Amino acid sequence: MITPAIKQKIISIVNVFETGSAEGEYDAIAIFPDGRNGSRQITYGRSQTTEQGNLRNLISRYINLNGQFADAFRSYLPKIGTVSLVNDAEFKRLLKVSAQQDPLMRQAQDETFEILYFEPALHFFQAEQFALPLSLLVIYDSFIHSGIVPAFLRVRFAERTPLRGGDEKAWISAYTQTRQHWLATHAKKILRPTVYRTKTFLNEMNKGNWMLDQPVKTQGVTIP
């Protein structure tokens, strides 16, 4: 059963992956060349949404909440995802200061990551009849990192999900190993170091920590 405490632990672990903090760094900003055709883009917030991904959705949500900096963000809304803002110092300042000073930006981030990532991950988890907390962690991280559990990875191994008569632990293990190999050999070299995510999962599987009732250590942070 996925209790509120287990859900929070899962989110905290992914927060560490994304920003190095279990609570999540809501004002975190980074720029990586992982956009369309290798273009540079802003990644932002507690779980690092991207300029060419869901950042516009996040800022729109913040504006709709009538946040303290809503008016300042309004003129940027049509540009996000269509015009590169990586060199726009004022936009980046607004991202940082809004997260530092306005609780509504934190609320907007929490709602965005819940609706666009956690709920779809939970739907996949339940629809395929998974049950174990570590399985949900693996699935949620895949949604955060890749937007989905990619079909092209699922066809690379023979195990079936519980819905299709397979063994849950065998499927999660095979998927994690397949994803690790994909990341480690990815054409975008920036993705290769992110195998720390899958290595964390495999380590917890080896420990038998499928219920996530043991502490999880990753990136120098221990989540009790």
Average pLDDT over residues 198-207: 98
pLDDT band at 168 (very low <50, low <70, confident <90, very high): very high
Q: What is the mean pLDDT of the chain?
A: 96
pLDDT band at 183 (very low <50, low <70, confident <90, very high): very high
Average pLDDT over residues 85-94: 97
With a cut of 90, say whether residue 149 has pLDDT above it. yes
Question: Please, which residues have CB within 8 angstroms of residue 51's CB and are 6 or more apart in sequence?
Answer: 35, 41, 42, 43, 44, 80, 81, 84, 85, 86
Give 4-223's CATH code, choosing from 1.20.141.10, 1.10.260.40, 3.40.50.10070, 1.10.3720.10: 1.20.141.10
With a cut of 90, say whether residue 47 has pLDDT above it. no
pLDDT band at 188 (very low <50, low <70, confident <90, very high): confident
pTM (2 decimals)?
0.90
> How far is Cα 74 from Cα 87, in angstroms, rounded to an integer?
18
The model's pLDDT over 7-21, given as tens digits with 9 standing for 90+, comes to 999 999 999 998 899
* Domains in the chain: boundaries: 4-223
Average pLDDT over residues 157-164: 98
What is the pLDDT at residue 58? 97
Report residue 78 as tokens: 């049509």
What is the pLDDT at residue 152? 97
Average pLDDT over residues 201-205: 98
